[in-house]
Amino acid sequence: MHQVVIPLERRGFGQTMRKDAWWSKSLLVYIAACGALALGDVACGGGPSAPSGTSTSATLDSVVTTFRGALVESTPITIPSPEALDVEIRLTLDVPADSKATVYLCVMESASAIGVGTCLGLSDTAKGILAHAEPLRLGISTLKTDGIARTTNFVYVGLAEGAFPWPLTGSSPPRTGDRFGSNRVLAATQIARTVTFR
């Protein structure tokens, strides 16, 4: 049997026998994909955030609930659809002005479960939130219009770093100091308010 011996030429790492730039299209696709991921991260809340070593803090100075201008406290009330429970939130937010933050407002069936209640979130830069926060006025209802009355017993307000860090799952709402990825709950409060939405 006849054997042919082909001499092998040693080449350095990354060297080939090809003389053309066959790898250029692959490199361009890789660079474009990395750029798209970086742009998506920034656009979806990956930045900006507080520089490391910068202290971030917040307080919820007061949460006042009203309906048709009347104060809602310990007496149960009924709110007909499409009206809402009005909530005035006074807050202090000590973070860099361009940092993203989210204010959560929830009506909850129990202290540990949203149940028939609902939540809404307001995300903006700290500067944007503070521009509307003297006080921040939000309205909330269970958003159900099927004629079935739904009773909630607690109002929850939370202030978190970042955009939408709360997945709305778990045994209780986030408390001050809880973390969701790189985001942290800066302030939270829960007050008893029995409201029937119908």
What CATH number is attached to the domain comprising 148? 2.60.40.10
- Do the domain assignments include residue 28? no
- Do the domain assignments include residue 167? yes
Which has more pLDDT, 174 or 193? 193
- Do the domain assignments include residue 154? yes
Residue type, 9: E
Beta bridge partners of 119: 106
Q: How far is CA 88 from CA 34, 61, 126, 135, 168, in A?
A: 43, 11, 18, 6, 22
- Do the domain assignments include residue 14? no
Query: Range of 98's domain?
Result: 57-197
Instruction: List pLDDT tens digits, range 164-184.
Output: 556 666 667 888 988 877 788
- Do the domain assignments include residue 49? no
Looking at residue 154, its pLDDT comes to 92
Q: How many domains does the chain have?
A: 1
Encoding tokens for residue 62?
């007061």
Q: β-pairing, 118-125 with 70-71? A: unpaired
Phi, psi values for residue 66, rounded to 5°: -140, 160
pLDDT of 32 strictly over 90: no
Decide: 154 and 107 in contact? Cβ < 8 Å.
Answer: yes
Q: For the whole prediction, is pTM greater than 0.85?
A: no
Instruction: List pLDDT tens digits, range 74-113.
Output: 899 999 888 899 999 999 888 889 988 889 898 888 888 8
- Is residue 82 reached through a cis peptide bond, with omega within 30 degrees of 0 on the bond before it? yes
- Do the domain assignments include residue 51? no
